Amino acid sequence: MKNSKLVELLNKMTVEEKVGQLSQISGEPYTSENFVVTGPLAEMGIPDKLIPVAGSVLGAAGAEANRNLQDNYLKKSRLKIPLIFMGDIIHGFKTIFPIPLGIGATWNTYLGQTTARVSAIESAVSGVHVTFSPMVDLVRDPRWGRVLETTGEDKYLNERFAEAFVNGYQGKNYSDPYTIASCVKHFAAYGAPEGGRDYNTVNMSERQLREDYLSSYKAAVDAGTELVMTAFNTIDGIPSTGNKWLLDDVLRKEWGFDGVVISDWGAVKELIPHGVAADEKEAAMKAMNATLDIEMMTFTYIKHLEELINEGKVSEDLLDEAVLRILKLKNKLGLFENPHREADVEKEKELVFCQSHRKKAQQVAEESMVLLKNNDVLPLKEKDQKIALIGPFTRDENMLGAWSWRGEPDTASNIIDSMKEMISPESVLYAEGSTLDHTDENMLDEAKATAKKADVIVLALGESAEMSGEAASVTDIRLPEAQMKLLKQLKALNKPVVTVLFNGRPLDLTEVDKYSDAILEAWYPGTEGGEAVANILLGNTNPSGKLPMSFPQNVGQIPVYYNHFSTGRPVESAPDQKYVSKYLDSSNYPKYAFGYGMSYTTFDYGKMKLSKETMTDNDTIEASITITNNGLYKGKEVVQLYVRDLVGEVVRPKKELKNFKKIELKPGQTETVTFTLSKDMLSYVHPDQKVKTDPGEFEVFIGGNSLVKKAEKFIYKKG
Ligand code: GLC
C-alpha cells in the first residue's frame, strides 16, 4: 500500500483506534471469535475497549494458531488493520543455537548472521513477524544474569554482531522469503546496572554512555533494524522509557531512526515505582512525549491518552506520527495485502527443526566453545581408553539456556549418547555424581567407583538455566558447592580430569582450575550441544572459541574488563610498591582474559610490520603479521587488532579492539594477515560529545588475545 494510502487510513481512525495501535498485549483474547479475556490480561485489568483495537501481540507463534488469531481479530476490526506478531527469538526458534554470549565467542559474524537467518526462516513460517532481538547491551559484570544474551564486553565486537543479526533476520528486503523484522534492545545501557543487579540503577556520564554503550544500538539502527526496545533502567536518573533526550533527541533526531520504539514488558507503568510519574496518566504522558510508540503489556495509553490530548498535555500530532510509524511497519511487511504473511502449516512442518538447521546449530556450537586449559589431556585420542562421563550435565538436556523460545530440552543431543555413537559404547562409563546443587553420598560413591574403572574423567558441570537470564543476578559466581565437592573427590583419584562447563555467565573458576587438567567452556550450546562437546573432546573438531567477556579471579574483582584505563598509579609500573592501583589479596587481571582461547594446535605470530610510521588525515597504515600453525592439528585462529591512544584529551583505554579476522591453517601453514588502520578508527567521544581523533602517538597490537604485549608505534598528524 502506498504511504499516501496509509495517511488516508490514519485519517479514518478514531482516537481510540489510533491508541489501540500503540498497545501490545498477549494473544489469548483472539483464540476465539468472542474475544474472551483470560490469564494474565484478566488479572492485570485490561480495559475491554482495548481488545478489539490492540495493534500487536507478543509471544504467539504457530502457523495455524497465528492464522486463527489474525482471522478472529480481523473479523471484528472496523478498518481491517492486521495484528503484527512479535516474540523473543533470541538464539533460535525451535532449532536452538548457543546463547548469544557463545555466538559472540565464535568471533564469526557470518555464523552470527546464519543463526539469525535460520531463526527468521523458522519464525516466518510459524507466523511471527518481529523478533525482540538482537540484544546488544554491553556488559562488564557477570553478576548480572542477562550477560548470556549479549555478545560481551567489547563495543566493536558487539557492533559487528549487531549488524550480522539484523541482516540475518531482515535480509535484503521483505519480499525475500522467510524474513522477519528485528528489534534491537535494550535501549539503553541496560547491561550496566549497579551491583550487577537486574533492573537496577545505571549511572554514567553522557560521554561514557556515547563512547562505550550506545554504539552497538547505533550499529543495529545503521543496519536497518525496524524497532528499538527501551530498557527498564534509568540513565542519570531518568528511566529510558520516559527519556525524551534518549529516544527523541539521540535515537530519532541525531541518528535518524524512523522506526518503531516499543517499551519493555510493563516499563511504561514502571515509571510510577521509579518515581518519575505520580500515576498511570502521568506515566502515559511522559512516555508519549518521549516518543515511545508501543506500550507493552500495560494499558496507560488506552486509559489516558485521549484525555491527555483533550487536555493539551499530549499533541495529537505525536499520536498520529506514532501510529503512522506502526502502519508503515505493517505495510513494509506486506500485512495489509497478506495478513498471514508467511505463516504456512506445510512449510512449518518442512523447515522448523529440519536437519540442515540442526547441522548449522552444531557448527555454531562447536565454534562457540572455548578451551581455557589443557595440560595435554585433550583431545581424548588414546585408543580403547575408558572415559568416565560424570556430572549433572552429562545426560541433562539442559543445553538450551534461557530464552530458548520453542526449543524443547529433550530434543537436545547430550554428551553420553553422542560419545557412544562416536566411539565404542563400552568405552564410555557414566554416573551422575551429583545433582546441580545437591550432594548425595550414594551418587558420589557410585561416581567414584565408576571413575576408578576409567582412564580419564570428563566432568560436565554448570549452572541451572534458572541461574542466568532475566531476574537472575547473583553475588557468588562460583559453581554450586555440591559440584565442587564432586570435582575435588574425583580429582583425588589421581586421574586426568576434564571439566566441561555449561553456564550463562563468566564464573570464578579459580578452584575449578586447581582440580582440572583441562577446562572447556561450552556455555549453553543449544540443540546440538552434546554432539558438539563430543566432537571437541574426541578431537574431531579443534576448538577455536575466544572469550567475548573476561572471567574474573573472583566476584570481588568485578568489574574487570580488558579495555580499562591506566590510572595515575598503574601497578605494572611498580608491582612491588604499595602505593599503586592494586589489591592486597588478588591480581588486577582476570583469570581468563577477553579474546583468550586455546587450540589443540599452536599458532606462532611473527613480527608485525607497519607500512609507514606516520598517518595523516586521508591516508592509512597497513599493519601486517604472519601466523604459522606449528602444531599437529588444522585449526582456526582469531587474529585480533588492538590500538592504544597514548595521550588523549581524556584518558584512553590501554587497548581497544579495532578489528579481527578468523583464519584456518593446516599444520605447517603460514598466512600473512593485514589490517588497515585509518584516522576514524582512532577517534573517540571528546568532552564536548563530539567524535574526533587527536594527533599524537599510537600503539598497535596484533595477537591471539587481549593480553598481547608486543606493539609497534605510529604517529597520526593532522593535515
Ligand atoms: C522481558 C525482557 C525483554 C523481552 C520482553 C518481552 O521482560 O526484558 O528482553 O523482549 O520482556 O518478552
**How confident is the model over 7-20, as pLDDT tens digits?**
999 999 999 999 99
Residues in the chain: 719
Pair 527, 617 in one domain:
no
Q: What is the percent of the chain with per-residue pLDDT over 70, rounded to a whole number?
A: 100
- pLDDT at residue 97, as a whole number: 98
Pair 526, 626 in one domain:
no
Pair 423, 543 in one domain:
yes
Pair 415, 493 in one domain:
yes
Comparing CA positions, the residue from 407, 667, 400, 704 lying closest to residue 542 is: 667
395 domain residue, yes or no: yes
Query: Mean of the pLDDT values across residues 113-134?
Result: 98
Residue 688 annotated as catalytic: no
Pair 654, 712 in one domain:
yes
Give the burial string for 341-353 (b: 16+ CB within 10 Å, else e). bbbbeebbeebbb
- pLDDT at residue 629, as a whole number: 98
Q: Ligand 1, atom 8: nearest CA belongs to which residue?
A: 264
129 domain residue, yes or no: no
Q: Which residues contact 334 (CB under 8 A, 6 or more apart)?
A: 174, 175, 341
217 domain residue, yes or no: no
90 domain residue, yes or no: no
Of 499, 531, 557, which marks where a domain is finished? 557
pLDDT at 396 over 90: no
Pair 512, 651 in one domain:
no
CATH code, domain carrying 693: 2.60.40.10
Q: What is the pLDDT of residues 497-508, one digit of tens each?
A: 999 999 999 999
Pair 550, 669 in one domain:
no
146 domain residue, yes or no: no
pLDDT confidence bin for 600, thresholds 50/70/90: very high
What are the backbone dihedrals phi and psi of residue 145, each rounded to the nearest 5 degrees, phi first? -70, -20
| pTM of the shown model | 0.98
Quote the domain boundaries for residue 672: 601-716
137 lines ligand 1 (CB under 6 A): no
Give the burial string for 486-517 (b: 16+ CB within 10 Å, else e). bbebbbeeebbbbbbbbbbbbbbbeebeebbb
671 domain residue, yes or no: yes
470 lines ligand 1 (CB under 6 A): yes
- pLDDT at residue 397, as a whole number: 59
Query: Mean of the pLDDT values across residues 461-472?
Result: 93
Pair 367, 501 in one domain:
yes
Query: Mean of the pLDDT values across residues 335-361?
Result: 98
Cα-to-centroid distance, 88 and ligand 1 (Å): 7
Pair 551, 652 in one domain:
no
531 domain residue, yes or no: yes
264 lines ligand 1 (CB under 6 A): yes
Please give the number of the atom of ligand 1 that sits closest to the Cα of 296.
6
Residues 371 and 378: their CA atoms lie apart, in Å, by: 10
- pLDDT at residue 643, as a whole number: 98
**C-beta separation of 583 from 557 below 8 A:** yes
Output the CA–CA distances (angstroms, integers) from residue 488 to 192, 461, 539, in the order listed: 35, 13, 26
Q: What is the pLDDT of residues 568-591, one digit of tens each?
A: 999 999 989 999 999 999 999 999
Of 524, 557, 590, which marks where a domain is finished? 557
Cα-to-centroid distance, 119 and ligand 1 (Å): 18
Cα-to-centroid distance, 264 and ligand 1 (Å): 6
- pLDDT at residue 174, as a whole number: 85
705 domain residue, yes or no: yes
185 lines ligand 1 (CB under 6 A): yes
Q: What is the DSSP string of 23-92?
A: EEEESGGGGSTT----HHHHHTT--GGGGGG--EEES---HHHHHHHHHHHHHH-SS----EEEE--SSB
Pair 460, 371 in one domain:
yes
Pair 540, 606 in one domain:
no
Pair 550, 639 in one domain:
no
Domain count, the chain: 2
Average confidence score pLDDT of the chain: 97
For residue 477, what is its C-alpha cell? 559466581
Of 535, 557, 579, which marks where a domain is finished? 557
CATH code, domain carrying 477: 3.40.50.1700
Comparing CA positions, the residue from 498, 567, 485, 566 lying closest to residue 536 is: 498
Catalytic one among 88, 154, 212, 264?
Answer: 264
**C-beta separation of 167 from 246 below 8 A:** no
132 lines ligand 1 (CB under 6 A): yes
pLDDT at 268 over 80: yes
- pLDDT at residue 697, as a whole number: 98
**C-beta separation of 183 from 128 below 8 A:** no
- pLDDT at residue 173, as a whole number: 87
State how beta strands 497-502 and 518-521 pair.
Answer: parallel
For residue 40, what is its C-alpha cell? 494474565
**C-beta separation of 594 from 707 below 8 A:** no
Query: Mean of the pLDDT values across residues 629-643?
Result: 98
Cα-to-centroid distance, 306 and ligand 1 (Å): 27
- pLDDT at residue 480, as a whole number: 96
State the residue for C-alpha cell 603460514.
670
